Amino acid sequence: MEILKQKFDKLIKRLSLENRRDLKTRLENLVSVYPFNEYEFIISTLLGLRKITLDDYYQIRDEYLDRNMFLYIFEISSPRTFGEQWAQGHLKELVPKLKHPNKTIDPNYSGQYDLVLEINQQLIRIEVKASRAVNTDEDAPLYIKALSYNSNKRFVMNFQQVKPNCCDVFVWIAVWRDQIRYWILSSDEVKSNKYYSKGQHRGNQGEGQLHFKDDNICEFDDFLVPSDKLQIKIIDAFKRQYREK
Query: What is the pLDDT at residue 32?
Result: 84
Question: Distance between CA atoms of 92 and 119, rounded to whole angstroms?
Answer: 16
Phi, psi of 56 (to 5 degrees): -60, -45
Which pLDDT value is given to residue 244?
Answer: 58
Q: How far apart are CA 148 and CA 176, in angstroms?
A: 5
Residue 7 phi/psi, 5-degree rounding, is -65, -45
Residues 42, 12: Cα–Cα separation, whole Å: 9
Query: Could you tell me where the beta strands, DSSP code E, fall in the chain?
Result: 115-119, 122-132, 156-162, 169-175, 180-186, 196-198, 208-213, 224-225
Q: What is the pTM of this model?
A: 0.84
Return the amino acid letter for 72: Y
Q: Give Cα 135 distance to the centre of its chain.
A: 13
Residue 34 pLDDT: 74
- Mean pLDDT, 10 residues at a time, over the chain (245 residues)? 84 92 91 85 94 94 92 92 94 96 93 94 94 93 92 92 94 96 96 83 70 94 97 97 75
Q: Which 3 state secondary structure label does DSSP give 129?
A: strand
Q: In terms of Cα–Cα distance, which of 157, 152, 166 is closest to 206?
A: 166
Report d(CA 115, CA 101) in Å as an integer: 6
